[in-house]
Amino acid sequence: MEFRHEVISFPKQLPIKFFLHRIGYVNRHWHQSLELIINIKGNVHITVSNLSYELGPGDIILINSNEVHELHADNATMIALQIKLELLKESTMDIQRMYYDCNSARSGDSERFKNIKRIVAQILKYNINSNEYIDLKNISLVYELIYELCSNFSSDKEEGLSYSQDNLDRLSRILDYVNSKYNDRISLQNVAKAEYLSVPYLSKYFKTSMGISFSDYLKDIRLHHAVNDLTNESLTIDKVAVQNGFPNVRSFVVAFTDKYGEVPSVWRKKHAGEILGSIEATKEKSVNYYQDEPLSYYEDISAFIESNLESAPVNLPQRVGSSRTSLIEVPVSNCLMALHHHFKNFIGVSRAKEVLLADVQQALRIAQEEIGFKYIKMHSLLDDDMMVYSEDAEGKAIYNFHFIDMVFDFLLSIRLKPLVQFSFMPKLLASNLEKTVFYNQINTSPPKSIDKWNQLIRALTLHLIQRYGLGEVKTWLFCVWNEPSSSNLLFGFSNDDIFNKLYLNTYETVKNIDPSIPFGGPAAFSTYNKNEDWLFRFLAFSRAAGCTPDFITIHYYDIDLWDYNGQDNQLNLSPVSHSFTEFIDRLKQRLEESKFDSLPVYLTEWNSTVSHKDLMSDTCFKSAYIIKNLTENYDRLDAFGYWLLTDLHEENLLPQQLFHGGLGLFTYNNIKKPSYHAFFLLNKLGDELIARGDGYFITKSRTGFQILLHNYHHYDEVYAQGVSISISYHERYSHFPIKSRKEFNFELSPVNGNYDFVQHIVNQQFGSAFDNENSFGTAAGHSVEEINYLRSISVPKLSKKCVTASGSLPIQVILEPFEICLIELIERSE
């Protein structure tokens, strides 16, 4: 699979595109642009015009216009520049017609290629942390690169094959035909007839042009598509063979084994953990749910730059600009809306068993004492490590709710009510023992006996009522399963009817005990660029079946799938800063149109990413992200359950690095991150909104006024595409446009009297544990003393002064990039 990212946006007048590749196999193709490839990691087998070469690290090759080429590698990283010389209208030479002999794999003179590598290294260096004048530098470097190619690599003799335009047009038609009909029973005879050629002539022409026989090319195309289909376990091997044009499963297995060295079933099992299920209802698409962190090219790029420039690269100094608001008049008598602070309705812990861990309990205690959430979302209540379900020798069910009691006893002791999510499947009830996810091998298959499942749900619900009382249990929330909208490779099932049956049975089992117990819909997974079709299909089913949920739950992440060659195979971050608002707009409109807008909507998981390895999650970017999105959408939903409370969870192996990009508000040893401080400041807001705007949210209470400010910056498009060319453990603020300070000028009126002016600030100097750790110079192996020190110093800055107002109160504040600030004006009693 090739991952290809255009990482530098050159000015439109420049005839160049700059890509970073990670490749596995790229089929034969050609283009009119020159393509300069520098291999920086791994080994690449490349065929150009039927001549093959092995590129090692540091090798360079230029592919001339219209040269047919293909690439193979297990996992190589390359820099690629595509140059359209026809756009150089200013050139006095006809450089379009030149042939360039630039191939270090067949040249013994490595010195000859140093200048090209130096120029490319400079392009990278100057575009990492670039300033507003970068276009000028890029223009000079691109022209220097073209000069170097023309001066030292132009050749009168063309190696390999050259093609006339008529030949290229014919070849293009043939390949288009094959690529569009590969899954049909096409043959050389079909193509020869379409091109009005004899079969022998076409066979020779194709082999000469492509360097491969027609039958082998067709087989390669079919195998390329079949590999993608194998990642979808809902498709049998037979179906994969048939839908990709193989005449029978035996021919598919033989061809696959010849190419990949193992039979398809073995390959599928080996790679199942790498590509794990769609985030939408489409069962035919898959995405790597676990390893979705941006592809980090930092080490590869740094090594390339350092080895090809005279000295190690030094990031260009970044100018921090400044923006200023005009005077904002704030009439304090205004009341734009009453605030209910729905952001506090949910917090999340990954698995129920984790609630019994001492550090998780301590994090929950801190959060409840300082913020005070109402409900907690967790899954895996029925997993085997909770020891809920077993059977005797005759297959009779044995229930054990001891660990569930321990979890709920603790939660109620700290004033947290559970969302009782019936998930996942005990092994003895599972219909498919192989359908597991996460490090702990959680089983996500449907029950093999719906009657035994119903009996378990009934027994557990009655137990909870007996232990805690019906009055208490009716204040909790109940639902079944987690993200059934995902594919069969993750939490979902092979078709929606299976889940609908599970939902209907679970709903009726609970409601038959007491119809007033709140039972909600399952959490559907939504992203910035996907609609909520699965959710509304489920709601339509529930209405028709008479099991409409009492509330709706949904998950939202600012991510989406990137489409490459028709396959959704990589997670991207949202390229726009307002996607969260667009999601809520879209959801509320569809709820109104479908007459479900009277139901409460609980967002029980929400974050900018699903990755537990996105290094920005530990930074002040995340605290500004939280403040921006919650204040812009305050109380629009009935809950905003930020995911996750702590980095201490068991979905994956716990990284050794303290700040590894986990989703938690706390590190795994309970150091507060900037994201935690964002909720701490939100919790100080009053109950009436009196003003809001770009970067500010002003409330009032019985004791005074609260002004919450943020200076949010959105990451660049390169990082959004899943590529990191400059981020590293210690440098995490590089993938942003030009950052600027933000100045606010307010005038509150009418205001009279004396006030305590209390200011809380979270930025890279105050309240950012990661930035504090950065000063230690190490990322692992901290002593207990260092951990306690980090914990003690990673708090918001607090300052206090007295101000006097006579009719109005002017306030001026300047925020650094990513800074959040809360100003409390507390009226002083005489």
Q: How many CB atoms lie within 10 A of CB 696?
A: 20
Q: Are 724 and 304 contacting, i.e. CB atoms less than 8 angstroms apart?
A: no
Q: Are 656 and 668 contacting, i.e. CB atoms less than 8 angstroms apart?
A: no
Alpha helices in 128-263 (DSSP H): 134-153, 165-181, 188-195, 199-210, 214-230, 237-243, 249-260
Least Cα distance to 402 among 387, 413, 391 occurs for: 387
Query: CA 335 to CA 305: how far, in whole Å?
Result: 57
DSSP-derived 3-state class of residue 73? strand
Q: Which residues contact 776 (CB under 8 A, 6 or more apart)?
A: 782, 786
> Is 605 marked active-site?
yes
The one catalytic residue in 35, 233, 483, 532 is: 483
DSSP conformational letter for 684: T
Buried b (16+ CB within 10 A) or exposed e, 131-165: eeebeebbeebbebbbebbeeebeeeeeeebebee
Least Cα distance to 580 among 631, 653, 618, 520 occurs for: 631
The one catalytic residue in 70, 354, 605, 819 is: 605
First to last CA, the chain: 72
Query: CA 803 to CA 269: how far, in whole Å?
Result: 68
Least Cα distance to 373 among 791, 710, 680, 688 occurs for: 680
Q: Are 304 and 79 contacting, i.e. CB atoms less than 8 angstroms apart?
A: yes
Which residue is associated with the tokens 């900018």? 608
Q: Which two structure tokens, joined as six digits, stand for 623?
A: 């605290």
Query: CA 666 to CA 644: how far, in whole Å?
Result: 9
Query: CA 507 to CA 407: how far, in whole Å?
Result: 23
Element (H, E) at 631: helix 620-632
How many CA atoms, within 13 angstroms, populate the side-chain half-sphere of residue 397? 19
Query: CA 93 to CA 413: how far, in whole Å?
Result: 81
Residues β-bridged to residue 707 = 698, 823
Least Cα distance to 212 among 175, 264, 260, 253 occurs for: 175
DSSP-derived 3-state class of residue 602? strand
> Is 472 marked active-site?
no
Q: Which two structure tokens, joined as six digits, stand for 514?
A: 């007491």
Sign of the dihedral through C-alpha 670, 676, 679, 684: positive
Which residue is associated with the tokens 């420049």? 14
Element (H, E) at 679: helix 674-682
Query: CA 766 to CA 368: how far, in whole Å?
Result: 23
Query: CA 823 to CA 800: how far, in whole Å?
Result: 10
Query: CA 662 to CA 710: how far, in whole Å?
Result: 22
Q: Are 695 and 816 contacting, i.e. CB atoms less than 8 angstroms apart?
A: no
Catalytic residues: 483, 605
